[in-house]
Amino acid sequence: MSSPAPRPRRRTEGRADAPRASLTPDSWIDAATEVLVDRGIDHVRVDVLATQLGVTRGSFYWHFRDREDLLRRVLQAWRERATEQLTARLEQAATDPREQLRDVISLPVRGRAAARAARIELAIRAWARRDAMARQAVDEADASRIGYVAQVFSALGFPIAEARARAFLLYAYVVGESLMAGQGGAAQREARSRFVERLLQQPLAP
């Protein structure tokens, strides 16, 4: 994610509060995301993160107004990465919609980066159960990803409303694979994914 410009430094603050050369806003955002995944949102606190990063609490305030500001930017960073992950390939106009569908369907089984992204996403969904700001970020990310998938179904010739229903079902399948990673072995997951790919491209029988 692109970091906003640093806030102006107040000269009155002591040397101990000066930001380490290596610490950027993203360092705090990444640390916060990690604590969120490992321990839950209640543990994402400035003191916990400062200790973990080996800096003073004060240096946090060079980059963020307060905890709320950090949390907002954790969500913003997640949304940008998460939407990007899905849309990067879809936006290459040259690609065939059938290929694009296969791409979306294979998202949950795509190795370690995808597994880490899935863990972050589940942690954010857990947080969204009880927090309006996180809820909104999740709803918007879901809507934007379902929208992209709906475009692919539209490109395949399905009517608008039906393309959206197909997109929702496909997206629920993708989320379900990461939410229910314990269901079936690799071969079963592979067979499921081939089945979903076929069924979802099939027109409704009259």
Binding mask 73-112 for its own copies (x = CB under 8 A): ----------------------------------------
Q: Which of 98, 129, 133, 159 binds its own copies (CB under 8 A)?
A: 129
Q: Which stretch binds its own copies (CB under 8 A): 20-28, 48-56, 99-107, 172-180?
A: 172-180
Shorter beta-carbon distance to its own copies: residue 81 or 192: 192
Closest separation in Å from C-beta 14 to its own copies = 35
Residue 111, by phi and psi: left (phi above 0), alpha (psi -120 to 50) or beta? Answer: left
Q: Which stretch binds its own copies (CB under 8 A): 10-18, 76-84, 94-102, 135-143?
A: 135-143
Q: Which of 49, 146, 149, 150 binds its own copies (CB under 8 A)?
A: 146
Is residue 164 a contact point for its own copies (CB under 8 A)? Answer: yes
At 164, list the tokens. Answer: 């959206």
CA-CA distance, 59 to 157, in Å (whole number)? 54
Q: Which residues of this protein are in contact with its own copies, per CB under 8 A? A: 38-40, 42, 119, 122-123, 125-126, 129-130, 135, 138-139, 142-143, 146, 161-162, 164-166, 168-169, 171-173, 175-177, 179-180, 182-184, 188, 191-192, 195-196, 198-200, 202, 204-205
